[in-house]
């Protein structure tokens, strides 16, 4: 009783204070909740439901309208006019009142008030930049995660692609004013969302680029210096390492806001294609270990200022031509340039292989391995051959499943059977059903041979040939991937097992390699069930599994064909005889690359599919083109000064809420573009105008700019300028 009486007294003493405290806390909670849900200035991350309304960015205070009812106000090229009208329209594209053509200086647009105002602001910013150049503060991250495992979206799930309605309805008054199509392709599929990526988007209020920012640039001081690849090479300083490259792709925590210097002996304009097939400027690729490599091999020779490649010379006795002919003799079903069009070359040891196969209408994509310190991949790029650089370790290669007609590994010394055969199972994933794996080596131990035979039998690869060529003295093995699932059931030991049904074989960005077998597509409605048409028919021959997308693909092809023919080839000042290596930074269906392949230009195009975009890369490979997955918040896997032309169609506007520092994309473009190289950028004016200022701070020359309404196009050329050391 005494205890109860004491408790009641305590309650009487402190009851009022407790009640007052509770009221204060509840009041504060109410204020916080009200500020979150009711404040008009709250920033909310909005994802587009469609790409129809490209003229206006989606903001946090604006509702997203139904994509089926949106009206596309972009002006389209009227393909139904006569050839005379077409010439007049193209002329107006280049000489029209909204265009600014630059030869070292800019001229204002006199007619479009909004464009003039934006351009004047950009010019004023540029003048201020010349007087005062404070360094831009760098943020610690730029859209990718700080740890490798958390860094990347693990899935590449495809959203359902819908044909957008309401895009064909254009008013006649608008058609009368139409002069050029500056919008995106009307047939672009909807954006892909990835579960692990949703919570990592950047909530960006206001413009993509800070219009008041001024930039000053410094040279990069990485260990690899003028060959710096940020996500592959170690940075300068830190703990002393034996090498200068990571075993796996690993981007720096603080993104490099610096410019890669030119080679110490200078840099010269690259040798034009086709001469670059037989010689390149040595100083453009000079490297101490490359010099030592040249002394030990005969297929590349230092000749004055050039590095030459004698025809048909290689480390193979008898030459590459004899080597390829012997493969066709071993397996007559292999017909280079007919049923075999896309080949992946592991390593760049036999760079001449791609040169000879190119003459047979075969596109060979070389995978320059990160542990190749000789930098032969850079030599291949300088010669003008498709090449990417990356590790072949524990993660999947950035390609979809079942896309390569053949995979070749020449002089291969890799232990394909180690780690439960993980590397060979990755080759099995990206190889087309019925595709060929060609392995050649001079030295193979009995143990290695037995382990390889056991592994290939366990994944049901059929060995078609195993022969040592008397001339090349090279032991060649040719395997074929099965074309049906029946053979998997005949295995005595189900090891490796079949992958689970929910395992996406196309998920490749930062996804670890799997030790399982994906089932073979069997229905004609499934991709990979049928072998594609021969080249060049496969470029526009859409198989059954693409029947639902046929109209979109055709429209996209026609869209880019008109732009390439009527604008890019003749109207923006590019000398295409100087262009060989091209990158489409947001390729969608590969329409831009397909249009170029049908013109009289000698180019190859690397079609990049951003990891946040719809997964259309399998379609690109099906058409006989090459491509790769990539996250543009990170550095691309290639050497500096790799590409002659970069094409970006509304890339920046798609990355507004993804990359924390979008200016780093421009820095990356500067890294991978060659001096004298070009960039064609199609964007909203709100992005294009400040972007022009950034390019000018990098001393790029603006060769042409054109605007119509809220859209514009910019053509810029990189110079030899680099910041002082």
Please give the residue that has the higher pLDDT: either 506 or 28: 506
For residue 480, the SS3 value is strand
pLDDT (tens digit, 9 = 90+) per residue, 276-333? 999 999 999 998 889 988 988 888 899 999 999 988 777 777 888 989 999 999 999 9
Across 79-95, average pLDDT: 40
pLDDT at 49: 36
Parallel, antiparallel or unpaired: strands 462-468 and 306-308: unpaired
pLDDT classification of 39: cutoffs 50, 70, 90: very low
Instruction: Tell me the C-alpha distance between 475 and 443, whole Å.
Output: 8
pLDDT classification of 602: cutoffs 50, 70, 90: very high
pLDDT at 364: 96
pLDDT at 181: 61
Parallel, antiparallel or unpaired: strands 404-410 and 342-346: parallel
pLDDT at 579: 98
Percent of the chain with pLDDT over 70: 70
pLDDT (tens digit, 9 = 90+) per residue, 89-134? 434 443 443 444 444 434 333 333 434 444 444 444 444 444 333 3
> What single DSSP character describes residue 71?
-
Are the C-beta atoms of 72 and 167 separated by less than 8 Å? yes
Across 578-594, average pLDDT: 97
The overall longest dimension of the chain from CA atoms, in Å, is 108
pLDDT at 140: 35
pLDDT at residue 248 tops 70: yes
pLDDT at 191: 61
pLDDT at residue 81 tops 60: no
Q: How many CB atoms lie within 10 A of CB 610?
A: 21
Are the C-beta atoms of 425 and 514 separated by less than 8 Å? yes
pLDDT at 548: 87
pLDDT at 508: 97
Cβ neighbors of 151 (< 8 A, separation 6 or more) are 144, 145, 251, 510
Instruction: Tell me the C-alpha distance between 542 and 589, whole Å.
Output: 12
The beta-strand segments (E) located in 375-483 are 387-390, 404-410, 431-441, 462-468, 475-480
pLDDT at 88: 41
pLDDT at 308: 94
pLDDT at 179: 43
Burial group, residue 131, by CB count within 10 angstroms (0-12, 13-18, 19+): exposed
Between vectors from CA 192 to CA 57 and to CA 65, what angle results, nearest 5°? Answer: 40
Instruction: Tell me the C-alpha distance between 299 and 22, whole Å.
Output: 83
Burial group, residue 526, by CB count within 10 angstroms (0-12, 13-18, 19+): middle
pLDDT (tens digit, 9 = 90+) per residue, 468-487? 888 878 889 999 999 999 99
Please give the residue that has the higher pLDDT: either 7 or 382: 382
pLDDT (tens digit, 9 = 90+) per residue, 359-414? 999 999 999 987 667 788 999 999 999 999 998 989 999 999 999 999 999 878 78
| pTM for this model (two decimals) | 0.77
pLDDT at residue 67 tops 90: no
pLDDT at residue 151 tops 50: no
Instruction: Tell me the C-alpha distance between 368 and 391, whole Å.
Output: 8
pLDDT at 141: 35
Among 171-180, 214-223, 689-698, which stretch is predicted with the lowest mean pLDDT? 171-180
Q: Which tokens sit at 293? A: 């490599």
Task: Residue 541: name the closest of 341, 683, 266, 689 by CA.
Answer: 341
pLDDT at 246: 63
pLDDT at 15: 62
pLDDT (tens digit, 9 = 90+) per residue, 636-667? 999 999 999 999 999 999 888 889 899 999 99
Cis peptide before 125 (omega within 30 of 0): no
Cis peptide before 274 (omega within 30 of 0): yes
pLDDT at 516: 96
Instruction: Tell me the C-alpha distance between 424 and 614, whole Å.
Output: 28
pLDDT at 245: 61
Instruction: Tell me the C-alpha distance between 411 and 419, whole Å.
Output: 21
Residue ranges of domains in the chain, CATH in brackets = 318-490 (3.40.50.150), 549-718 (3.40.50.150)
Across 660-682, average pLDDT: 97
pLDDT at 324: 92
Average pLDDT, the chain: 78
Among 42-51, 181-190, 377-386, 514-523, which stretch is predicted with the lowest mean pLDDT? 42-51
pLDDT at residue 419 tops 60: yes
Burial group, residue 252, by CB count within 10 angstroms (0-12, 13-18, 19+): middle
What ranges in 214-318 are assigned the alpha helix state H? 288-296
pLDDT at 374: 78
């Amino acid at each position: 009783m005494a205890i109860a009486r004491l408790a009641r007294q305590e309650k009487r003493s402190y009851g009022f204070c407790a009640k007052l405290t509770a009221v204060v806390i509840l009041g504060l909670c109410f204020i916080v909740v009200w500020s979150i849900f009711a404040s008009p200035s709250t920033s909310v991350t909005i994802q587009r439901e469609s790409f129809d309304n490209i003229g206006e960015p989606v903001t946090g205070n604006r509702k997203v309208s139904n994509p089926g009812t949106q009206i596309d106000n972009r002006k389209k090229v009227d393909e139904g006019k006569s050839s005379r009208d077409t010439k007049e329209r193209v002329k107006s594209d280049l000489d029209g009142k909204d265009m600014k053509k630059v030869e070292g200086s800019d001229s204002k647009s006199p007619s479009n008030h909004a464009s003039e105002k934006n351009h004047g602001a950009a010019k004023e910013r540029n003048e201020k930049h010349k007087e005062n150049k404070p360094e831009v503060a760098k943020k610690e991250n730029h859209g990718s995660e700080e740890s490798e495992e958390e860094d990347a979206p693990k899935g590449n799930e495809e959203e359902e692609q819908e044909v957008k309605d309401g895009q064909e309805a254009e008013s006649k008054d608008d058609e009368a004013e139409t002069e050029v199509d500056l919008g995106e392709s009307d047939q672009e599929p909807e954006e892909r969302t990835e579960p692990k990526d949703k919570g990592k988007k950047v909530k960006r209020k206001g413009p993509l680029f800070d219009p008041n920012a001024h930039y000053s640039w410094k040279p990069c001081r990485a260990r690899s210096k003028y060959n710096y690849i940020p996500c592959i090479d170690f940075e300068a300083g830190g703990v002393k390492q034996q090498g200068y490259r990571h075993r796996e792709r690993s981007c720096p925590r603080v993104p490099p806001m610096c410019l890669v210097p030119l080679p110490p002996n200078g840099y010269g304009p690259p040798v034009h294609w086709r001469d670059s097939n037989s010689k390149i400027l040595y100083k453009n690729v000079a490297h101490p270990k490359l010099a030592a490599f040249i002394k030990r091999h005969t297929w590349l020779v230092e000749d004055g200022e050039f590095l030459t490649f004698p025809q048909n010379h290689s480390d193979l006795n008898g030459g590459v031509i004899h080597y390829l002919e012997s493969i066709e003799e071993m397996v007559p079903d292999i017909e280079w340039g007919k049923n075999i069009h896309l080949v992946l070359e592991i390593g760049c040891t036999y760079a001449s292989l791609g040169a000879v196969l190119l003459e047979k209408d075969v596109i060979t994509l070389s995978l320059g391995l990160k542990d190749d310190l000789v930098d032969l991949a850079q030599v291949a790029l300088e010669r003008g051959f498709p090449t990417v650089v990356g590790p072949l370790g524990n993660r999947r290669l950035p390609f979809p499943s079942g896309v390569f007609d053949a995979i070749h590994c020449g002089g291969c010394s890799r232990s394909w059977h180690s780690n439960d055969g993980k590397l060979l199972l990755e080759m099995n994933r990206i190889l087309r059903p019925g595709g060929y794996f060609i392995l050649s080596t001079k030295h193979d131990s009995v143990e290695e041979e037995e382990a390889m035979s056991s592994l290939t039998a366990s994944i049901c690869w059929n060995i078609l040939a195993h022969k040592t060529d008397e001339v090349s003295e090279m032991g060649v093995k040719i395997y074929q991937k099965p074309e049906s699932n029946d053979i998997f059931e005949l295995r005595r030991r189900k090891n490796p097992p079949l992958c689970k049904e929910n395992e996406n074989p196309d998920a490749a960005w930062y996804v670890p390699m799997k030790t399982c077998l994906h089932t073979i597509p069997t229905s004609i409605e499934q991709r990979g069930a049928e072998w594609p048409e021969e080249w060049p028919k496969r470029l526009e021959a859409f198989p059954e599994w693409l029947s639902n997308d046929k109209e979109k693909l055709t429209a996209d092809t026609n869209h880019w064909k008109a732009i390439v023919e009527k604008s890019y080839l003749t109207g923006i000042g590019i000398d295409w005889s100087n262009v060989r290596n091209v990158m489409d930074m947001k390729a969608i269906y590969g329409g831009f690359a397909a249009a170029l392949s049908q013109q009289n230009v000698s180019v190859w195009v690397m079609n990049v599919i951003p990891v946040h975009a719809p997964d259309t890369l399998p379609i690109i490979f099906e058409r006989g083109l090459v491509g790769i997955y990539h996250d543009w918040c990170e550095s691309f896997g290639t050497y500096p000064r790799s590409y002659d032309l970069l094409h970006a169609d509304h890339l920046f506007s798609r990355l507004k809420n993804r990359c924390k520092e979008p200016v780093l994309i421009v820095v990356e473009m500067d890294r991978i573009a060659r001096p004298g190289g070009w960039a064609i950028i199609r964007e909203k004016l709100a992005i294009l105008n400040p972007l022009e200022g950034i390019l000018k701070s990098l001393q790029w020359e603006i060769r042409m700019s054109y605007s119509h309404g809220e859209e514009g196009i910019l053509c810029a050329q990189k110079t030899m300028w680099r910041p002082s050391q």
